[in-house]
Chains A and B, each alone.
Chain A
Protein backbone atom coordinates (compact mmCIF):
# COMPACT_ATOMS: atom_id res chain seq x y z
CA UNK A 1 0.00 0.00 0.00
CA UNK A 2 1.21 3.51 -0.78
CA UNK A 3 0.23 4.81 2.64
CA UNK A 4 -1.79 7.94 3.26
CA UNK A 5 -1.53 10.30 0.31
CA UNK A 6 -1.89 14.04 0.60
CA UNK A 7 -1.89 16.74 -2.02
CA UNK A 8 -0.55 19.22 -2.64
CA UNK A 9 2.66 18.87 -0.64
CA UNK A 10 3.17 22.60 -0.64
CA UNK A 11 0.67 25.40 -1.15
CA UNK A 12 1.37 29.10 -1.22
CA UNK A 13 -1.59 31.40 -1.54
CA UNK A 14 -2.66 34.93 -0.82
CA UNK A 15 -4.88 36.00 2.01
CA UNK A 16 -8.55 35.74 1.10
CA UNK A 17 -8.12 32.89 -1.37
CA UNK A 18 -9.79 29.51 -1.01
CA UNK A 19 -7.50 26.59 -0.21
CA UNK A 20 -8.40 22.92 -0.63
CA UNK A 21 -6.26 20.17 0.83
CA UNK A 22 -6.78 16.57 -0.22
CA UNK A 23 -6.26 13.23 1.42
CA UNK A 24 -6.51 9.61 0.36
CA UNK A 25 -6.47 7.27 3.36
CA UNK A 26 -5.06 3.78 3.40
CA UNK A 27 -7.49 1.37 1.79
CA UNK A 28 -9.64 -0.40 4.36
CA UNK A 29 -9.14 2.16 7.10
CA UNK A 30 -12.38 3.41 8.54
CA UNK A 31 -11.19 6.43 10.51
CA UNK A 32 -9.72 9.56 8.98
CA UNK A 33 -8.21 12.47 10.89
CA UNK A 34 -7.12 15.98 10.00
CA UNK A 35 -4.42 17.60 12.13
CA UNK A 36 -2.67 20.94 12.04
CA UNK A 37 0.91 21.43 13.23
CA UNK A 38 2.44 24.77 14.14
CA UNK A 39 5.43 25.76 16.22
CA UNK A 40 3.24 27.66 18.64
CA UNK A 41 0.45 25.14 19.18
CA UNK A 42 2.05 21.82 18.30
CA UNK A 43 -0.14 19.12 16.79
CA UNK A 44 -3.88 19.82 16.98
CA UNK A 45 -6.70 17.50 15.97
CA UNK A 46 -9.13 19.44 13.78
CA UNK A 47 -11.74 16.83 12.87
CA UNK A 48 -12.14 13.11 12.40
CA UNK A 49 -14.46 10.87 10.42
CA UNK A 50 -15.67 7.33 10.95
CA UNK A 51 -17.03 5.52 7.91
CA UNK A 52 -17.15 8.86 6.07
CA UNK A 53 -19.25 10.54 8.77
CA UNK A 54 -17.81 13.48 10.74
CA UNK A 55 -17.70 12.48 14.40
CA UNK A 56 -15.91 15.30 16.20
CA UNK A 57 -15.19 18.67 14.64
CA UNK A 58 -14.61 20.51 17.90
CA UNK A 59 -11.03 21.24 16.88
CA UNK A 60 -11.98 23.14 13.75
CA UNK A 61 -10.85 26.68 14.52
CA UNK A 62 -13.73 28.59 12.96
CA UNK A 63 -16.33 28.59 10.24
CA UNK A 64 -13.76 29.32 7.60
CA UNK A 65 -12.67 25.69 7.91
CA UNK A 66 -14.74 22.84 6.52
CA UNK A 67 -14.03 19.18 5.84
CA UNK A 68 -15.80 16.56 3.79
CA UNK A 69 -15.43 12.88 3.12
CA UNK A 70 -17.62 12.00 0.14
CA UNK A 71 -16.38 8.40 0.04
CA UNK A 72 -14.06 6.02 1.84
CA UNK A 73 -11.06 6.91 -0.27
CA UNK A 74 -11.11 10.69 -0.33
CA UNK A 75 -11.38 13.65 2.02
CA UNK A 76 -10.91 17.38 1.67
CA UNK A 77 -10.15 20.16 4.10
CA UNK A 78 -11.14 23.58 2.81
CA UNK A 79 -10.26 27.01 4.14
CA UNK A 80 -12.27 29.92 2.77
CA UNK A 81 -11.17 32.64 3.03
CA UNK A 82 -7.62 31.86 4.08
CA UNK A 83 -5.66 34.06 6.47
CA UNK A 84 -1.93 34.28 7.27
CA UNK A 85 -2.51 32.68 10.67
CA UNK A 86 -3.68 29.53 8.89
CA UNK A 87 -0.11 28.93 7.75
CA UNK A 88 0.87 25.52 9.11
CA UNK A 89 1.50 21.94 8.11
CA UNK A 90 -1.75 20.01 7.75
CA UNK A 91 -1.64 16.26 8.24
CA UNK A 92 -4.14 13.63 7.35
CA UNK A 93 -4.05 10.29 9.16
CA UNK A 94 -6.08 7.11 9.01
CA UNK A 95 -6.45 4.21 11.36
CA UNK A 96 -6.74 0.57 10.58
CA UNK A 97 -9.10 -2.30 10.90
CA UNK A 98 -7.51 -5.20 12.73
CA UNK A 99 -7.13 -8.64 11.25
CA UNK A 100 -10.26 -9.88 13.01
CA UNK A 101 -12.26 -7.39 11.07
CA UNK A 102 -13.19 -5.42 14.15
CA UNK A 103 -13.60 -1.79 13.36
CA UNK A 104 -10.77 0.34 14.59
CA UNK A 105 -11.35 2.99 17.18
CA UNK A 106 -10.36 6.59 17.02
CA UNK A 107 -7.41 5.88 19.27
CA UNK A 108 -6.02 2.90 17.40
CA UNK A 109 -2.71 3.21 15.63
CA UNK A 110 -2.87 6.12 13.23
CA UNK A 111 -0.88 6.29 10.01
CA UNK A 112 0.07 9.77 8.92
CA UNK A 113 0.45 11.24 5.48
CA UNK A 114 3.45 13.41 4.57
CA UNK A 115 1.52 16.62 5.21
CA UNK A 116 0.71 19.75 3.23
CA UNK A 117 2.73 22.81 4.09
CA UNK A 118 0.42 25.80 3.68
CA UNK A 119 1.72 29.34 3.49
CA UNK A 120 -0.79 32.17 3.36
CA UNK A 121 0.77 35.49 2.43
Chain B
Protein backbone atom coordinates (compact mmCIF):
# COMPACT_ATOMS: atom_id res chain seq x y z
CA UNK B 1 0.00 0.00 0.00
CA UNK B 2 0.89 3.64 -0.09
CA UNK B 3 2.63 4.90 3.00
CA UNK B 4 4.98 7.80 3.56
CA UNK B 5 6.72 7.97 6.90
CA UNK B 6 8.62 10.69 8.67
CA UNK B 7 9.93 11.20 12.16
CA UNK B 8 7.69 13.53 14.13
CA UNK B 9 10.16 15.96 15.67
CA UNK B 10 13.57 17.48 15.04
CA UNK B 11 15.28 20.07 17.17
CA UNK B 12 18.41 21.91 16.03
CA UNK B 13 20.49 24.87 17.05
CA UNK B 14 20.43 27.98 14.92
CA UNK B 15 23.25 27.89 12.38
CA UNK B 16 23.50 24.11 12.32
CA UNK B 17 22.29 21.90 9.48
CA UNK B 18 18.95 20.12 9.69
CA UNK B 19 18.27 16.82 8.02
CA UNK B 20 14.68 15.65 7.69
CA UNK B 21 14.15 12.09 6.51
CA UNK B 22 11.30 10.39 4.73
CA UNK B 23 10.62 6.88 3.50
CA UNK B 24 8.05 5.98 0.90
CA UNK B 25 6.74 2.74 -0.50
CA UNK B 26 5.73 3.20 -4.13
CA UNK B 27 8.69 2.69 -6.44
CA UNK B 28 6.69 4.05 -9.37
CA UNK B 29 6.58 7.54 -7.88
CA UNK B 30 7.43 10.10 -10.54
CA UNK B 31 8.13 13.10 -8.35
CA UNK B 32 8.82 13.54 -4.68
CA UNK B 33 8.06 16.81 -2.97
CA UNK B 34 8.93 18.73 0.15
CA UNK B 35 6.36 21.13 1.54
CA UNK B 36 6.63 23.51 4.50
CA UNK B 37 3.74 24.47 6.75
CA UNK B 38 4.06 27.41 9.09
CA UNK B 39 1.62 27.84 11.99
CA UNK B 40 -1.86 28.78 10.82
CA UNK B 41 -0.94 28.57 7.17
CA UNK B 42 -1.31 26.21 4.26
CA UNK B 43 1.40 24.06 2.79
CA UNK B 44 4.02 25.84 0.75
CA UNK B 45 6.05 24.00 -1.85
CA UNK B 46 9.75 24.10 -1.00
CA UNK B 47 11.30 21.90 -3.64
CA UNK B 48 10.81 18.70 -5.56
CA UNK B 49 12.94 16.06 -7.21
CA UNK B 50 12.24 13.91 -10.22
CA UNK B 51 12.56 10.21 -9.60
CA UNK B 52 15.46 9.78 -12.03
CA UNK B 53 17.62 12.20 -10.05
CA UNK B 54 19.55 11.43 -6.90
CA UNK B 55 20.31 14.94 -5.74
CA UNK B 56 18.99 18.44 -6.16
CA UNK B 57 20.36 21.60 -4.60
CA UNK B 58 18.47 24.86 -4.26
CA UNK B 59 20.26 27.54 -2.20
CA UNK B 60 20.24 26.28 1.39
CA UNK B 61 18.20 23.20 0.52
CA UNK B 62 19.64 19.87 -0.62
CA UNK B 63 17.39 16.96 -1.51
CA UNK B 64 18.83 13.47 -1.66
CA UNK B 65 16.94 10.55 -3.16
CA UNK B 66 17.88 6.92 -2.70
CA UNK B 67 15.51 5.02 -4.93
CA UNK B 68 16.84 1.63 -3.93
CA UNK B 69 15.98 2.24 -0.30
CA UNK B 70 12.99 4.49 -1.11
CA UNK B 71 14.49 7.14 1.11
CA UNK B 72 14.26 10.88 0.66
CA UNK B 73 15.95 13.53 2.74
CA UNK B 74 15.90 17.30 2.99
CA UNK B 75 18.96 19.08 4.30
CA UNK B 76 18.67 22.71 5.35
CA UNK B 77 22.03 24.41 5.71
CA UNK B 78 22.57 27.20 8.23
CA UNK B 79 19.17 26.64 9.81
CA UNK B 80 17.44 29.83 10.97
CA UNK B 81 14.62 30.40 13.44
CA UNK B 82 12.40 31.23 10.47
CA UNK B 83 12.82 27.64 9.32
CA UNK B 84 10.81 26.43 12.31
CA UNK B 85 7.74 24.74 10.80
CA UNK B 86 6.31 21.37 9.88
CA UNK B 87 7.89 19.75 6.84
CA UNK B 88 5.97 17.27 4.73
CA UNK B 89 7.34 14.97 2.11
CA UNK B 90 4.96 13.68 -0.54
CA UNK B 91 5.22 11.07 -3.24
CA UNK B 92 3.40 11.42 -6.53
CA UNK B 93 1.78 8.31 -7.90
CA UNK B 94 -1.74 8.69 -9.22
CA UNK B 95 -2.19 11.27 -6.49
CA UNK B 96 -0.05 12.97 -3.90
CA UNK B 97 0.50 10.95 -0.74
CA UNK B 98 1.74 13.08 2.13
CA UNK B 99 3.82 11.97 5.05
CA UNK B 100 2.87 12.68 8.63
CA UNK B 101 5.08 15.75 8.79
CA UNK B 102 8.21 16.53 10.81
CA UNK B 103 8.06 19.43 13.22
CA UNK B 104 11.36 21.30 13.08
CA UNK B 105 12.19 23.47 16.05
CA UNK B 106 15.18 25.81 15.82
CA UNK B 107 16.57 27.20 19.05
CA UNK B 108 19.10 30.00 19.49
Q: Chain A: residues with CB nearer than 8 A to chain B? A: 4, 42-43, 45, 48, 56, 91, 93, 106-107, 109-115
Contact = CB atoms under 8 A, between A and B. Distances in A.
B60 to A, nearest CB: 20
A48 B96 CA distance: 11
B45 A109 contact: yes
Given A42-B101, A43-B88, A107-B31, A48 B42 contact: no
Contacts of A113: 42
Contacts, number: 44
A111 B41 CA distance: 12
**What's the dominant secondary structure at chain A's contact region?**
strand
Contacts of A112: 35, 42-44
Interface in B39-76: 40-45, 48
Nearest to B92: A107
A107 B93 contact: yes
A45 B98 CA distance: 9
A48 B43 contact: no
B94 to A, nearest CB: 7
A32 B69 CA distance: 32
27 contacts: A4-B42, A42-B99, A42-B100, A43-B43, A43-B98, A91-B43, A93-B42, A93-B43, A106-B94, A106-B95, A106-B96, A107-B30, A107-B31, A107-B92, A107-B94, A107-B96, A109-B33, A109-B45, A109-B48, A110-B43, A110-B45, A111-B45, A112-B35, A113-B42, A114-B40, A114-B42, A115-B41
